[in-house]
Structure 1
Amino acid sequence: MSAPVVARIFTEYLAGRGMFSIAEGLTRDGIASPSAHDPERNRHRSGAAWSKSAVRVILSNPRYTGRQVWNKQRKDEVLIDVEDVALGHETKMRWNTPDKWVWSADQVHDALVDTETFEHAQQVLAAHGAGRATRERHRVRHQYALRGLLHCGCCTRRMQGQWNHDEAYYRCRYPQEYALAKTVEHPRNVYLAERDVLPALDDWLAQAFVPIRLAITVEQLFASQPERVADSDDGATAHTIADCDAKLARYREALEAGADPALVAAWTAEVQAHKAQALAARRTKHGQPRMTSDEIRALVDTLGNIGAMLANAHPEDKAEVYRQLGTTLTYEPNKRLVRAEAGIRPQPWGYGKCPRGDLNPHAQ
C-alpha cells in the first residue's frame, strides 16, 4: 500500500472519522483497495471497493512505523484429542498481546507513520466500546445446512447465516461492510430463508439417483474417490511407529522404577507427538479403501428413497452431503431465483487448500 494512502487513513481516523467513512472516501476517490492493488494474492476477493476490515488491518500494522516487530504470534502445543492423549500434540499459532511484541531498536525501512501516531491509533482502537453497559451475551450455536455454499448474486460473496424467529436465514449486507463502488448495485440487505431452498434442492439432487440416471451417478462416485498410493515407504512409517511404542514402554517402566514423573511426562509427550505425526501422515497418504462400483450401488440401494433421506437428515449431515457433491448456490434477489450447480469431482484426501494462500502461511 502506498505511503500517502496509509498516512491519509491514520490522519482521518485520528481526526474522528470512522473506518467505514474512510473506506467510502477511498473508494469514491478511485483509490485501489489492497485486494485490487495485488489481485494475485487476493484471488478470492473482488477488489471492487474498500472494506472496514481493510482499513482496520492498516491501522493495526506496526510495520508502517519503519521498525521490525517480532513475537506477534507464539506456538502452543495442544492435545489433538483430550479423550485420547496417545494421539499426542499439535502446534497451534496464537496471537500475543501487543505488550509482548518485540520491537527493533532502529528503523529498518522508511516510516510511513511515526511511532506516536501509531500508538495513538492503537489507543483509539482499544477504547472502542469502552464504558458501554451492555448485557452479557450467551453464544448459541445454530445449524445451517447451506453454510459456505450460498453466494449473493449481486456481489458474489458468501451469504452469512442468521437465525431469525427460530428459523435459519442467510443474509448479505454488502453496503454495511464495503464502500459501494459505482460498478456494484446492491440492496442494503439481501435475505433468503433456508426453508425456501432446501425442499427444491433436495428434490433436485435426488434426481441423480433415479433409476434412469443411477448408473452414471455410481460411476461418478467411484471416480471421485482418491487413488490409493503405493506402499513403498510403509516400512519406514511402521518402523517410526514401532520405535515410538518401544520408547513409551520404556518410559512406563522407568516411571514404575521411580523416575521423576515430570521428566517422564515430558519424554512421553514428545514421543506421542512423533507417533501422532506418523499416524496422521499415513492416514493422509493412503486415505480410506476405495469402494467398488458394486459396493457403491449396494449402498445406494440400502438407502432407499434418497429424497426422503435428505429431507429428514440432520443439518450437519445435509451440509456434508452438499459439500461432497460439489454443490454451489447463487441467489439472484432481483429475480428471486436460486441457481444451483453440483458436480462430483475427484477430491484429494485431507484438508483443502486455504483460499487465502500465502497470506496465511500457518494454515494447513
Structure 2
Amino acid sequence: MIRFAFYGRVSTEDQQDPEASRSWQLGRARALIDGHGQVATEYFDVGQSRSLPWKRRPEAARLLQDLPHSDRGFDAVLIGEPHRAFYGNQYGLTMPVFEHYGVTLWVPEVGGPIDPASEAHDLIMSVFGGMSKGERNRIKIRVRSAMQSQAKVEGRYLGGRPPYGYRLADAGPHPNPAKAADGKRLHVLEKDPVTAPVVERIFRWYLGGMGFFLIAQTLTDEDIPSPSAYDRARNRHRTGIAWSKGAVQAILANPRYTGYQVWNKQHKAEVLLDVDDVALGYETKLKWNEREQWVWSDRPAHPAIIDRATFTAVQERRARRGPSSDRPKVRAAHPYALRSLLVHHQCGRRMQGTWNHGHAHYRCRYPQEYAIANLIDHPLAVYLREDAILPDLDAWLASAFDPQRLTATLDALVDQQPEETTALTDPIRRTIAACDRRLAQHRAALEAGADPILVTGWINETQAERATAVAALARAGARTKTTPPRLTRQEIKNIVEGLGEIIDVIRAAEAADKAEIYGQLGLRLSYDHETHVVSAEVSPRSSVGLLAVSEGGLEPPRPIKGTSTSS
C-alpha cells in the first residue's frame, strides 16, 4: 500500500469555507487512490493565493522541506485539484524536485501517477497551470470592471478605512441576494461631528497662507488628536502624540472631501521578489496611479466637507509651491568627504551634506512635531562643520594604524569580533518568530469573539510577511545557520598592514578621494550634539584588495573606536 501526502489550497478569493473546500478536494483525491493506498499526512494552505510559488506557501514549503528526509512518512504526493495547486509554470519548477527524491505525483486529470517522461502528461499539467493563471487574470479584470462601474455610476463606497473627517453609516442590505442573506450590508460615508470641523479648518488655514508645518504645530498645540490618535485601533504602530506634516498633506490632497466618490487612486502592482530568482514569484505593493486614472463618481455620493472650488484652489496653491520654472536648476556640485558616513546620535538618522558660507557642513533637520511624536528632544536643525572633524579624524586614523601601535590595534580588532552564534540571532529568523507570535495572538482574538473579517485580514497580512521571510531564509541557505568564522590574528594583520599606504595619502587627498578611502576603510561616524563629541569606528574590508578569498566566508573585523570633540 502506498502512503500518500495530500496537498490542497484554498484562498480568501474563493469565498469558500476552508473546511468545506478541504473536504471536497480530499474526497476527490481519495477517490483517485482507492485500492492503491491511503492518505498518511496532509498539507493544506489556507488564505494563500495560487500565484505564490510553493516555497512561499507555508504548507507547501513544509512539504518541500520534508521531501529529503527518509522518515517523511509518505511515498507519493496526492493533489485533488491541480488548478489550486499549480499556477503558471509552477508544475515545471516543482515536479523535478519530486522526481529527484523519488516521490510520485498523483492527480485526477491523468487518472493516476504522472509519468515524468510522458509528453502528454507534461502538456496536460502545463495547460492546467496556464488555465489557472488565466482564470485568476479574468477574475481580476471582472472585479476591477465591476468596481469601476459601481464607483462611477452608483458612487458606492467600496471599502477601506473612512477618511479622517468621516465615519461609516449603514446604507441598507447588500444588493446581491446571496450576500444579503449572509448578513452583508452596504455602507456610506457620513460626516464625523468631531473631526469634520478639523478638516474644514485645515483647508481654511492653508488657503489663508499657513504652511503644513504650522498647521500641524497649531493642531498639536490645541490638543486636537491626530488621525492616528483618534483611531488607535487602526494605528497601533504609531505613537499618535502629535500631528505630522504628512497627515496635513494627505488631508489637503484627498478629493473625497468634496462629496464625490473617488476610486482607483492606487493599484496593486506585482513586483518580482528577487530579479535573480524569478521562481520565487512576485510580491504585491501598492502604487499611486496618475490623477488621469482616478475614477470619479458622476454625482455626489456623500456629504461634502468642503466644496470643489475650495479643493481646486488648494491644489493650485500646492502646485505653486513646487518649482517655479520648467528649466532645470543648475547647482554647483560640492564634494563631501563624509557623505553617507555621519549619523546623528540623538535620532539615528544620517546627516545630510549642505554647503554654507563657503564651507561643507552636515545637517540633521527634524521638525518639532516629529520630535514630539517620537518622544525625542531634538533641535529643529543640528549643524556640524566638516573641517572641524577631518584634522582630528585623519590624525586618529594615522595613529591607529601606525606600525608602533600595530599590536594594540590588532588586539582591539581581534577582541571585538562577534562570537559564533546560532541561527536564532539571525534577523530573518527573528522576523519569522515574531510572525508566529502575532498569528497566535490573532487566532486568540478570533476565538475571543473579535470581528472575523478584520482578524482574517490581519492573519493574511502576517502569513504573507512570514512567507516572504521564509523565502528570504531559503535564499540565504547555509549562510544563515551560523555567523561567519572569526578571522585569525594573522589574517587581520595582513589587512591592517596593507592599509599603511592608504592612511599616508588621506591627509593630502581631495574631498572626493577622501570619501572613497573612508568608505573602503568601513568608517562610520556618530555626532552627539549635546556633548559635541564625534565617535568614529572603522571596519577594514578585505575588498580593499589586500586579501584575496576564493570561496568567501571571511567577514571584516569588528570596528575599533575613537572619539573626537567638536564645537
Question: What range is the shorter-chain TM-score in?
Answer: 0.5 to 0.7
Q: Could you say if the C-alpha distance between residues 292 and 152 of structure 1 is closer, same or farther in structure 2, counting changes exceeding 3 Å?
A: closer
Q: Could you say if the C-alpha distance between residues 329 and 307 of structure 1 is closer, same or farther in structure 2, counting changes exceeding 3 Å?
A: farther
**Given that residues 65 and 115 in structure 1 are in contact (C-alpha distance below 8 angstroms), is that contact kept between their aligned partners in structure 2?**
yes
**Given that residues 205 and 215 in structure 2 are in contact (C-alpha distance below 8 angstroms), is that contact kept between their aligned partners in structure 1?**
yes
CA distance in 1, matches of 2:420, 2:397: 20
**Given that residues 150 and 330 in structure 1 are in contact (C-alpha distance below 8 angstroms), is that contact kept between their aligned partners in structure 2?**
no
Q: CA deviation at 1:63?
A: 5.2
Alignment-derived partner of residue 329 in structure 1: 527
CA distance in 2, matches of 1:87, 1:206: 51
Alignment of 1:1-364 (within 5 A): 2-33=195-226, 40-42=236-238, 50-62=243-255, 64=257, 67=261, 69-73=263-267, 75=269, 94-103=287-296, 113=306, 117-129=310-322, 132=324, 136-138=328-330, 140=333, 143=336, 145=338, 147=340, 149-151=342-344, 158-164=350-356, 168-174=360-366, 190-201=382-393, 203=396, 211-212=407-408, 214-215=410-411, 217-218=413-414, 220-223=416-419, 283-287=475-479, 291-295=484-488, 297-304=490-497, 309=502, 312=506, 314-315=514-515, 318-319=518-519, 328-332=526-530, 337-340=532-535
Alignment-derived partner of residue 247 in structure 1: none
**Given that residues 329 and 338 in structure 1 are in contact (C-alpha distance below 8 angstroms), is that contact kept between their aligned partners in structure 2?**
yes
SS of residue paired to 1:41 = coil
Alpha-carbon deviations, 1:200-219, whole Å to 9, x = none? 45627985995336345335
SS of residue paired to 2:354 = strand
Structure 1 counterpart of 2:352, one-letter code: Q
Higher relative contact order (CA 8 A, sep 6+): 1
**Given that residues 152 and 159 in structure 1 are in contact (C-alpha distance below 8 angstroms), is that contact kept between their aligned partners in structure 2?**
no
CA distance in 2, matches of 1:73, 1:18: 30
Structure 2 counterpart of 1:338, one-letter code: V
CA distance in 2, matches of 1:195, 1:20: 32
**Given that residues 206 and 307 in structure 1 are in contact (C-alpha distance below 8 angstroms), is that contact kept between their aligned partners in structure 2?**
no
Q: CA deviation at 1:12?
A: 1.5
Alpha-carbon deviations, 1:148-198, whole Å to 9, x = none? 742275x776532213477532124446x75997x9987675321233234
**Given that residues 206 and 306 in structure 1 are in contact (C-alpha distance below 8 angstroms), is that contact kept between their aligned partners in structure 2?**
no
Structure 1 counterpart of 2:529, one-letter code: Y
Q: Could you say if the C-alpha distance between residues 96 and 207 of structure 1 is closer, same or farther in structure 2, counting changes exceeding 3 Å?
A: same
| Structure 2, gaps ≥5 residues long | 1-163, 165-194, 426-470, 507-512, 540-567
Q: CA deviation at 1:9?
A: 0.8
- The normalised TM-score by structure 2 is 0.37
CA distance in 2, matches of 1:294, 1:125: 56
CA distance in 2, matches of 1:108, 1:300: 73
Structure 1 counterpart of 2:384, one-letter code: L
CA distance in 2, matches of 1:141, 1:76: 39
Q: Could you say if the C-alpha distance between residues 24 and 217 of structure 1 is closer, same or farther in structure 2, counting changes exceeding 3 Å?
A: same
Q: Which of the two has higher C-alpha Rg?
A: 2
Structure 2 counterpart of 1:315, one-letter code: A
Q: CA deviation at 1:99?
A: 1.7
| Structure 1, gaps ≥5 residues long | 230-278, 345-364
**Given that residues 351 and 363 in structure 2 are in contact (C-alpha distance below 8 angstroms), is that contact kept between their aligned partners in structure 1?**
yes
